């Protein structure tokens, strides 16, 4: 039996796709991710995260963390709160979204959304794709009544989130599995 909280009426009111121009002038389409996008999102994360994080994390940390953090999350993809950025030709350029539930079973405050897995394809970084995705995510969450945003940023993405208006709360170490701790930055907007 499905609980009322599991029903996602919010998804039904989202536009199927929104075309936006990035800061670099590129036209992209932002759309809600679906279950069928799992493999493409998984490839995006597993290809981009290691390249993006290499400058800020020791190889030993990445070797342990990548299997835990660089994979698509089916629950996010099915939530109606996770979005894809695609080129005019349909190439996946980025992904990102939010959840109402805090990652890792942490406590979540009412009216709070948790920014999740925001990434631009490593070959397309610095072109405004991540910024367009995050702004779209914040706008969609605000339509749902969200007034506060939490984010667990990787070390290299702290400046990206600060440029949007997030403030640093402090350094954290995320327990990914027994013996595997991942340095990150807790941020809020």
Q: How far apart are CA 96 and CA 56, in angstroms?
A: 21
Please report which confidence band the pLDDT of residue 15 belongs to, taking 50, 70 and 90 as the band edges: low
> Quick check: 104 pLDDT over 80?
no
Q: What would the mean pLDDT of 114-142 be, rounded to a whole number?
A: 93
Provide the terminal-to-terminal Cα distance of the chain, rounded to the nearest Å. Answer: 36
Average pLDDT over the chain, rounded to an integer: 87
Q: How far apart are CA 145 and CA 164, in angstroms?
A: 19
Q: What would the mean pLDDT of 31-51 be, rounded to a whole number?
A: 95
> Quick check: 134 pLDDT over 90?
yes
């Amino acid at each position: 039996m499905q609980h009322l909280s599991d029903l996602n009426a919010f998804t039904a009111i989202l536009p199927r796709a929104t075309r936006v121009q990035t800061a670099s002038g590129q036209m992209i389409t932002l759309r809600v991710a679906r279950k069928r996008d799992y493999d493409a999102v998984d490839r995006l994360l597993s290809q981009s995260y290691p390249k993006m994080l290499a400058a800020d994390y020791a190889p030993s940390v990445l070797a342990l963390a990548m299997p835990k953090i660089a994979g698509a999350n089916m629950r996010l993809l099915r939530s109606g709160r996770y979005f894809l950025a695609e080129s005019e030709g349909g190439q996946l350029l980025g992904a990102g979204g939010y959840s109402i539930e805090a990652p890792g079973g942490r406590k979540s405050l009412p009216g709070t959304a948790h920014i999740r897995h925001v990434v631009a394809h490593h070959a397309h970084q610095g072109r405004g794709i991540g910024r367009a995705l995050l702004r779209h995510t914040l706008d969609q969450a605000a339509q749902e009544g969200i007034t506060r945003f939490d984010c667990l940023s990787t070390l290299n993405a702290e400046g990206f989130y600060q440029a949007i208006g997030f403030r640093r709360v402090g350094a954290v170490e995320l327990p990914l599995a027994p013996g595997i701790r991942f340095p990150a930055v807790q941020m809020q907007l």
